[in-house]
Structure 1
Amino acid sequence: MTRFWLGGYGSDMDGDAAGIGLLAGDEARPQTTLAYRGTVAPAPDPSWLAQHPSLDVVYAALEGSGEVAAFVRDGESSLRPLGAPVPAGAAVCHLAVSPDGRFLVASCYGDGRVVRIGLDFEGRLVPDAADRAAALRAALFGDDQHTPGAEPGQASDPYPTPTGTDPRVSHAHAAVFLRDGRIATTDLGFDLVRIWRPAATGLQLDHEVVLQRGSGPRHMVAHPSGHLHVVTEYSCEVFTLTADREGRWGLVSGVVVSAIATPGFDFPAELARSRDGETLYTALRGSNTIAALRVRGGGEIVEPLALADSGVDWPRHHLVHEGALLVAGQRSDTVSVLDIDERTGAPRDIRHTAPAPTPTCFLPVR
């Protein structure tokens, strides 16, 4: 049976989800029978879910309360809490678990924090003294850092706020583990991609990649070649980054998501890729479409490919799965399944839709 854990917004975030839900389809026709099967783990606003690399443990970003919670699989299709939730930061919206399962990185939209939380051998969250100190040192608060006397390691604003306008605010949004063990995170408010090194004391800022002011980098995906693709929420673009011989990351190219994407009306959300990395998919909240982009060369060239109806309202998250694209419609309280052209990778017709309470994130059940 095809099954997915489903994250969602609850009453604190103007949603109807009561916790982590379960989507499941029949064995014979898994994608056309996909349906919401109910809440499997009560939790407030589990808007993002992440899987431990080797254990049956799922982590949830409880966005409304600013906490991270761990759940262990307890049966074929159920979860139970694994310890108490751990504070992370305001509006924690994304989690990335290290490949070795020793810690996770939480990105907090509300206050700009990037927080490391340790994990023990059973997958429990471990906010010990070292990790608490590391979290404070890794915190990037929402002040305009382009000021005299900024402390070492704080972010500098390469595009100073014009006189007479409101100062910019830091909004951490996502993290990706890179091949060399470093971590890339986005700051949607300061238009930065930050590169971190894991250290004994937590996370150490290595350097920053500056994107155009007002672009709003949101989510990222690593290409098999090692390139990093970044989608921007405000300018509707996908930027490609790569590292030089010294390991310093920089911009290779940028492409507008779609010829009909309208900044200020369309707001790209998730960025996903096909298994081979030849196609990227992003959702445009506003026009409620899915834009596909072709990746060429060694991963450094990205070109618009196709545009399709998402089948939902406000497509917040999507996932490529077994030749189809699953889309979570936050405002329509539905999920959809789109066909993908096997030859070109372009999204096609809407194969199936099903009701689900304020869905925000899919996670395949292993």
Structure 2
Amino acid sequence: MKHPDEILFYVGTYGPADQPSIHLCALNIKDGEMRRIGGTAGIGNPSYITLDSRQQVLYAVSEKGSGEAAAFSVDAETMELAPLGSRATEGADPCYVSVSQDGKHVLVSNYSGGNINAYPVNPDGSLGEMTSNVRHQGAGVRPDRQEGPHPHSINPEPGSEWIMVCDLGLDRIMLYRLEAGKLVLQREVSLPEGAGPRHLAFHPDGKRVYCINELNNTVTVFTYDAVAGTLKALQHVPTLPEHYVPGSDDTAADIHVSPCGRFLYASNRGYDSVALFHIDSETGLLTAADWQITGGRTPRNFAICQGWLLAANQGSDNITSFRIDAESGRLIPTGNELGISSPVCIAPVN
């Protein structure tokens, strides 16, 4: 099934439950060609997916009015998925799922519901009954997008007990800790009004956190103290080039730091591109270096895979591959694309 020169990855989509909506695919690391191996049905709109640290269980959210979080066992030989059941999120449109650092809890954020959840992980990887359901309160300055709370991601910080939640509706990053299965709020960090914080990326050195802000198309650079759990904003950088005049459909989406810690990438919808920033090794500050058109529309999510970047273009039903130049960080288009209906999340298999 898997060739020696291939990397496997799963793709979450906006697809109906009666059709394959999570796809298993492969990337050829010699030329960037991709292929679809198989798919899994039984879950509608799995818009965000993640694997546990042992690559034995895949967790997905079902983004719909009555949200659900689901677990699937991963076959060690074929990498096929088998359902392990699901749990209600008691909130609408869950859009992010993660696993706590100790692997004992699965965490979910519900965009429209305005709430976040924690579930214990059973020995077989399935989800136990919900142990925490926290609903945010308040609103932001934009009535069209910030009429209420909209937690967009829930991010366990590598190597610590801190859990950071980006709330797009409140312009805040909320810092939680898990205490006996309960998500307990410790402090809040404010972003500029109308920023719309969406996703986070952690620098490998553990001293910097980068936040992509959906509504004002910026990246905010924070210094981070993992002991105290404090974030201090240092810089706000546009994700769009100076010459570009943004329209109403221009929103920032995903963000990742390269494993080497030298490059940061951020995706733009509308301009349909991935921005490259160079990271100063001393300060962590960003310098814009390049913008690469993704070869599709609405790159909601992308992933870095062993020197490659894969962009999920939701609006054009395709995934495109790029080689990452090791010296400059620039993305080199391969010309290869994989047709997948409404791809919105890529989870590489390590």
For normalisation by structure 1, the TM-score amounts to 0.85
User: Is the counterpart of residue 208 in structure 1 residue 188 in structure 2?
Assistant: yes
The more displaced of 294-303 and 201-210 is: 294-303
- Equivalent residues in 2 for 1:61-80 (5 A)? 61-64=61-64, 65-74=66-75, 75-80=77-82
Counterpart-to-counterpart distance in 2, 1:120 and 1:309: 43
Instruction: Give 1:280's aligned residue.
Output: 264
Counterpart-to-counterpart distance in 2, 1:271 and 1:286: 16
1:73-104 Cα shifts (integer Å, max 9, x gaps): 13413100013344352100001101211002
CA displacement at 1:224 relative to structure 2: 1.4
Instruction: Give 1:170's aligned residue.
Output: 149
8 A contact 1:50–1:60 mirrored in 2: yes
CA RMSD of aligned residues (A): 2.4
User: Is the counterpart of residue 139 in structure 1 residue 110 in structure 2?
Assistant: no
Change (3 A) 1:29 1:181: same
Matched to 2:72, the amino acid is F
Instruction: Give 1:150's aligned residue.
Output: none
Instruction: Give 2:50's aligned residue.
Output: 50
8 A contact 1:19–1:39 mirrored in 2: yes
User: Is the counterpart of residue 35 in structure 1 residue 15 in structure 2?
Assistant: no
Counterpart-to-counterpart distance in 2, 1:353 and 1:200: 45
Instruction: Give 2:292's aligned residue.
Output: 308
Q: Please, which of 352, 358, 363 is the counterpart of residue 336 of structure 2?
A: 352
Change (3 A) 1:204 1:261: farther
Q: Please, which of 262, 271, 282 is the counterpart of residue 255 of structure 2?
A: 271
Q: What SS does the corresponding residue of 1:331 show, helix, strand or coil? A: helix
Counterpart-to-counterpart distance in 1, 2:330 and 2:273: 12
**Runs of 5+ consecutive residues of structure 1 not aligned to the other structure:** 145-158
CA displacement at 1:30 relative to structure 2: 6.2
Counterpart-to-counterpart distance in 1, 2:145 and 2:202: 34
8 A contact 2:145–2:169 mirrored in 1: no
Counterpart-to-counterpart distance in 1, 2:191 and 2:26: 40
8 A contact 2:146–2:169 mirrored in 1: no
Q: State the identity %.
A: 28
What count of residue pairs does the alignment treat as equivalent? 338
Instruction: Give 2:246's aligned residue.
Output: 262
- Equivalent residues in 2 for 1:108-147 (5 A)? 108-127=110-129, 131=131, 134-135=132-133, 138-140=134-136, 143-144=138-139
- Equivalent residues in 2 for 1:244-255 (5 A)? 244=225, 246-255=228-237
Counterpart-to-counterpart distance in 2, 1:293 and 1:261: 20
**Runs of 5+ consecutive residues of structure 2 not aligned to the other structure:** 1-5
User: Is the counterpart of residue 318 in structure 1 residue 302 in structure 2?
Assistant: yes
CA displacement at 1:297 relative to structure 2: 3.4
Change (3 A) 1:165 1:203: closer
Instruction: Give 1:3's aligned residue.
Output: 8
- Equivalent residues in 2 for 1:95-110 (5 A)? 95-110=97-112
Change (3 A) 1:261 1:182: farther
Q: What SS does the corresponding residue of 1:84 show, helix, strand or coil? A: strand
1:132-161 Cα shifts (integer Å, max 9, x gaps): xx21xx2225x54xxxxxxxxxxxxxx7x5
Instruction: Give 2:86's aligned residue.
Output: 84
Instruction: Give 1:222's aligned residue.
Output: 202
Matched to 1:115, the amino acid is N
Instruction: Give 2:3's aligned residue.
Output: none
CA displacement at 1:263 relative to structure 2: 6.2
Change (3 A) 1:201 1:102: closer
Change (3 A) 1:353 1:201: closer
Counterpart-to-counterpart distance in 1, 2:245 and 2:307: 25
Change (3 A) 1:166 1:29: closer
Instruction: Give 1:94's aligned residue.
Output: 96
Counterpart-to-counterpart distance in 1, 2:147 and 2:248: 17
Change (3 A) 1:55 1:297: closer
Counterpart-to-counterpart distance in 1, 2:31 and 2:68: 33
Counterpart-to-counterpart distance in 2, 1:17 and 1:30: 30
8 A contact 1:108–1:173 mirrored in 2: yes
8 A contact 1:328–1:361 mirrored in 2: yes
1:261-309 Cα shifts (integer Å, max 9, x gaps): 6263421111012111211111111011111111113353111110111
Q: What SS does the corresponding residue of 2:212 show, helix, strand or coil? A: strand
For normalisation by structure 2, the TM-score amounts to 0.89
Change (3 A) 1:247 1:165: closer
